[in-house]
Amino acid sequence: MLSSALDEEINDLQSYSAFIAHWNRISDDTMEITTLESEKLVVNLSSDGWDLLTTDSQPYPTIEALLMDVSPKFNKAWNEELYRKLKMLERDE
């Protein structure tokens, strides 16, 4: 169904490999992600966004938004990386 969209998201997710412990594709549109807090998440990509299958939460628009919500360590690493990149841009000006 959404396997090509999931392929693109997986490519993006690979750039965050330092921010998550492990991920594994388990079907055409479903992945299992282990956070740095050792929490296992089963997520499904639908036309509505990313659904966390272990809860009744609303779909997340991006995998980053989902991970920022459920993983404090991902959130911290993401923000540190963003800050680092912004500082590099500032130096280049």
Q: For residues 9 and 62, which has the higher predicted lDDT (pLDDT)?
A: 62
Neighbouring-strand partners of residue 23: 33
CA gap 47, 81 in Å, rounded: 29
- On the question of pLDDT at 14 being above 80, the answer is no
Checking phi first, is residue 41 left (phi over 0); if not, alpha (psi -120 to 50) or beta? beta
pTM (2 d.p.)? 0.80
CATH of the domain at 88: 3.30.2280.10
Instruction: Inform me whether the pLDDT recorded for 2 exceeds 70.
Output: no
Q: How many domains does the chain have?
A: 1
- Determine the structural domain holding residue 81 and report its residue range: 3-92
pLDDT (tens digit per residue) in 25-81: 898 888 999 999 999 999 998 888 899 998 888 999 988 999 999 999 999 999 999
Q: Is 32 exposed, middle or buried (0-12, 13-18, 19+ CB in 10 A)?
A: middle
Q: Is the pLDDT of residue 3 over 70?
A: no
